[in-house]
């Protein structure tokens, strides 16, 4: 096959497609990754071909937009910078690159793919890294902390909230431009933009059944494969500075607000103070060092990037934003989670982690040193949390996401 992969977002969004691309390449398929030029170095390191869909300047613009992780305006920000501008770029790239044996693979935000599937007839597989993309009136995802929806509410009530979310958040942002693009290609308009989020051929959930059980009202073509787990550990081993720090004392607590966050000064300041209050060591992870407080205590260190699959087994806990890729690494390492959910899938992930009994969460306005210290201490010292984390880590041993996903993509083409 000729496989065109269309990851959209930060490293946490690109890593799963990188691992999948390597698995498909290992099987003899021709793989091209279509994403931001920012990831050229990563693709060169692993040996995958990249077709850039934006410039470094465009990528930097969205990273620096202060509304990127806003709880209510974040989606519109992503739509403005990525989803809508990339829609016809993605279609035109597919039209230029496709051959008779091509298959296109991408997330719901790659909205040029349904255009190509309908207009050009190219096989299409969607990959959803997070269960929040799958709406269910039976057991709906938690779109925002505090919204009164869930399995304990009537289905008509949950359905009403989803209708409202489409009415006031999704369609006003997506539908006009999407239907204009569809009209330019001779395609009929859609009444609801989110109907284009799932391929009618195969919709893969990159998470396991125990994390988010498949619901009867999900699309029937849905297949869950488990967590993808690829995280650069094969090309970025632990350096001597990290190893030296890890060996100098008790297991530290790791803190990260996500690879795409550039406005986390307060997060890191509170993290360092919380470590001091607990008398524990800490590791602060970010590729943007200007966010790190000056004069960190000796017990707290900053590192630009460390593969979490190698770091977290040496840690006492992880405090982070709730991104699904980071979450899966903490599950595999068997460490407690403290999540500071901001937007997108993060509130839903935080709710699921708490439901599993392996972590807790704090809203950004409550992510203060004292509360962080109290939450982390309770999680680390809890025998029940420890037992649940160990049980989840054992489940992770069964994970075969990338081979199963590659099988599913091959089956669609066949």
Q: Does the pLDDT of residue 145 top 80, yes or no?
A: no
Q: What are the residue boundaries of the structural domains of the chain, listed by start?
A: 2-229+399-413, 240-396
Q: Does the pLDDT of residue 378 top 90, yes or no?
A: yes
In this prediction, residue 73 has a pLDDT band, given cuts at 50, 70 and 90, of: confident
Residue 240 confidence (pLDDT): 85
In this prediction, residue 349 has a pLDDT band, given cuts at 50, 70 and 90, of: very high
Residue 68 confidence (pLDDT): 81
Is CATH 3.30.1780.10 the right assignment for the domain spanning 240-396?
no
In this prediction, residue 64 has a pLDDT band, given cuts at 50, 70 and 90, of: confident
Give the mean model confidence (pLDDT) for residues 294-311.
93
pTM: 0.93
In this prediction, residue 310 has a pLDDT band, given cuts at 50, 70 and 90, of: very high
In this prediction, residue 149 has a pLDDT band, given cuts at 50, 70 and 90, of: confident
Give the mean model confidence (pLDDT) for residues 176-198.
95
Give the mean model confidence (pLDDT) for residues 77-98.
94
Residue 414 confidence (pLDDT): 83
In this prediction, residue 144 has a pLDDT band, given cuts at 50, 70 and 90, of: confident
Q: Give the percent of the chain with pLDDT over 90.
A: 81
Q: Does the pLDDT of residue 71 top 80, yes or no?
A: no
Q: What is the pLDDT of residues 134-143, one digit of tens each?
A: 999 999 998 8
Task: Give the mean pLDDT of the chain.
Answer: 94
- The residue among 253, 279, 287, 284 whose CA lies nearest residue 269 is 284
The reply to whether domains 2-229+399-413 and 240-396 share a CATH topology is yes
Q: What is the pLDDT of residues 228-262, one digit of tens each?
A: 999 988 887 788 899 999 999 999 999 999 888 88
Q: Give the percent of the chain with pLDDT over 70.
A: 100
Please, how many CA atoms are within 13 Å of residue 271, restricted to the half-sphere of its CB? 34
Architecture of domain 2-229+399-413: 3-Layer(aba) Sandwich (3.40)
Structure token digits, residue 351: 């709710």
Q: Does the pLDDT of residue 324 top 90, yes or no?
A: yes
**Residues 68, 62: contact at Cβ < 8 Å?**
yes
Residue 180 confidence (pLDDT): 97
Structure token digits, residue 267: 């997060």
Residue 193 confidence (pLDDT): 92
Q: What is the pLDDT of residues 257-273, one digit of tens each?
A: 988 888 899 999 999 99
């Amino acid at each position: 096959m000729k496989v065109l992969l269309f990851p959209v977002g930060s490293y946490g969004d690109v890593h799963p497609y990188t691992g999948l691309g390597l698995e498909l390449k290992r099987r003899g398929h021709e793989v091209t990754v279509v994403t931001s030029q920012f990831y050229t170095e990563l693709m060169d390191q692993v040996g995958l071909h990249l077709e850039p869909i934006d410039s470094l300047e465009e990528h930097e613009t969205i990273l620096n937009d202060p509304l990127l992780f806003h709880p209510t305006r974040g989606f519109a920000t992503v739509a403005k910078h990525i989803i809508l501008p990339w829609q016809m770029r993605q279609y035109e790239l597919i039209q230029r690159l496709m051959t008779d044996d091509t298959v296109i693979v991408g997330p719901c935000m790659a909205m040029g793919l349904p255009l190509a599937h309908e207009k050009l007839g190219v096989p299409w597989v969607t990959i959803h890294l997070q269960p929040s993309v799958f709406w269910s009136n039976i057991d709906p995802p938690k779109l925002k902390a505090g919204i009164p929806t869930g399995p304990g509410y009537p289905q008509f009530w949950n359905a009403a909230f989803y209708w409202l979310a489409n009415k006031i958040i999704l369609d006003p942002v997506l539908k006009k431009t999407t239907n204009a693009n569809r009209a330019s290609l001779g395609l009929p308009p859609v009444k609801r933009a989110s109907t284009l989020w799932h391929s009618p051929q195969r919709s893969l959930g990159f998470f396991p059944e125990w994390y988010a059980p498949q619901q009867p009202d999900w699309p029937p073509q849905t297949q869950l494969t488990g967590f993808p787990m690829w995280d650069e550990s094969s090309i970025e081993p632990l350096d001597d500075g990290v190893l030296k720090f890890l060996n100098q004392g008790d297991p530290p607590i790791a803190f990260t607000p996500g690879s795409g966050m550039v406005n986390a000064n307060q997060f890191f300041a509170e993290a360092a103070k919380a470590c001091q209050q607990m008398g524990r060591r800490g590791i602060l992870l970010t590729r943007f060092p200007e966010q790190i407080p000056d004069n960190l205590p000796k017990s707290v260190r900053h590192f630009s990037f460390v593969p979490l699959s190698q770091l977290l087994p040496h840690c006492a806990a992880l405090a982070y934003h709730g991104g699904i890729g980071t979450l899966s690494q903490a599950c595999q390492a068997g460490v407690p989670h403290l999540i500071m959910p901001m937007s997108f899938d993060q509130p839903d992930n935080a709710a699921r982690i708490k439901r599993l009994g392996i972590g807790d969460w704090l809203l950004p306005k409550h992510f203060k040193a004292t509360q962080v210290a109290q939450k982390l201490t309770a999680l680390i010292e809890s025998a029940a949390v420890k037992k649940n984390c160990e049980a989840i880590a054992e489940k992770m041993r069964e994970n075969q996401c990338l081979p199963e996903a590659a099988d599913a993509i091959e089956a669609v083409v066949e």
